[in-house]
Amino acid sequence: METLAETASRVLPGGSFGNFPANFTAARGHGGHIWDTEGREYIDYLIGSGPMFIGHAHPAVTEAILAQVPLGTTYFANNPSGIELAAAIVDAVPCAEQVRFVSSGSEADAYAMRLARAFTGREKILKFEGGYHGMSDSGLMSLAPKREANFPQAIPDSPGIPSSVADAMLVAPFNDLEAALALLEAHADELGGVIVEPLQRLIPPKPGFLAGLREATARLGIPLIFDEVVTGFRFAYGGAQEMYGVTPDICTLGKIVGGGFPLAAVAGRADIMALFDRAKAPEDKFLTQIGTLSGNPVASVAGLATLKVLREPGTYEAVFARGEAMMGAMNTLLRKHGVPGQALGVPVLFDIVYADGTIANYRDMLKSNAAHAAHVNKCMRDNGVLKGDSKYYLATAHTDADIAHTLEVFEKALRTL
């Protein structure tokens, strides 16, 4: 009889969905833990690549889903929960005056760039090297280029992308405000928008970087897009734009906002979002957007239940405190064992970069010792701690005991380097 792994190898390219190594198959999750099909339990810092910020199978989310499912799972029409979720986003997110739902972060980023181009009538988008903006052709420009190029040349990260896409993108180094401003000034009459992760993967913005982008784009009439698919409702209830005090024109949201279901959103200024409204947009600027599952009611009730939990007093303070303690302890252990490295990111989203010195952009990240990272990650997993290749996602469900065990395993891994 064929095993599950053999079936996967036969029917799936590489034996996987393309997200995570094929040698791990999840069976169930609860709170901050996950179990594989062999019954092994792990502390889960993958948390679905970020959506399960309040943990797996949270009772409030489960209750909301079970109440909705008997009423129908999708309608291709407005539904009360989707409208309520849009209102909750508008109430929470500084830039959000209106919301348009899609089903994935990749979709949201692609539509946000298209929206900016349609609004301005200009074709080029400025992004930052190493920034991840989904799986669209535009999003996969200079995400992880295998060769360095002179800025602002864009490099495709996948075969199958038309060469013309590179001509529609400009690329700047993250955290280099001077370089970005020079490109903005030089190409202002061509730029339809600027898209940036407020925290680029793990790299925090330098003081003044985001504010400088905001000032320049506003002055030049170029829409500023914050990709908050990861940071939205994670860094604060109002996202990274609340945490950093910088308000873009458009943002994208995903992961947490769908409560673990396929839901994402584009949100922004009403005059820009009006291009989605046939009654308000000029005929040549109306932006068609249709999605079979957009605003799906099951995803919407899961998102609403998640946001309600996050509004409980002390929620963010507690998870940030645990993350700060974990990052600090890891830095101490690195020094204790003489391993070059540092915890980089913010307390709810970070990893160890195995290099000393300042890490300010994508090329700085390449200094990290990849062999050290792979060794530690394997040791973590072998000892019941699951994480992705490059991130610890903290959840509100992680406990002090989870953090303590993680630190024990981390030290064990450092001893064997």
CA–centroid distance for 344 within its chain: 16
Contact indicator for 206, 175 with CB cutoff of 8 Å = yes
Contact indicator for 178, 208 with CB cutoff of 8 Å = no
Non-local CB neighbours of 118 within 8 Å, separated by 6+ positions? 275, 285, 287
CA-CA-CA-CA torsion sign (131, 413, 370, 21):
negative
Say what the alpha-carbon torsion angle 264, 269, 275, 276 is, to the nearest 10 degrees. 30
Distance CA 367, CA 59 (A): 43
- 346 closest CA partner among 321, 380, 370, 377: 321
Contact indicator for 80, 267 with CB cutoff of 8 Å = no
Instruction: Give the number of other CB atoms < 10 A from CB of residue 392.
Output: 26
Residue 334 φ/ψ, nearest 5 degrees? -60, -45
Distance CA 16, CA 24 (A): 9
Non-local CB neighbours of 408 within 8 Å, separated by 6+ positions? none
- 339 closest CA partner among 416, 391, 406: 416
Residue 317 φ/ψ, nearest 5 degrees? -60, -40
Say what the alpha-carbon torsion angle 95, 97, 103, 108 is, to the nearest 10 degrees. -40
Q: Which residues are catalytic?
A: 132, 227, 255
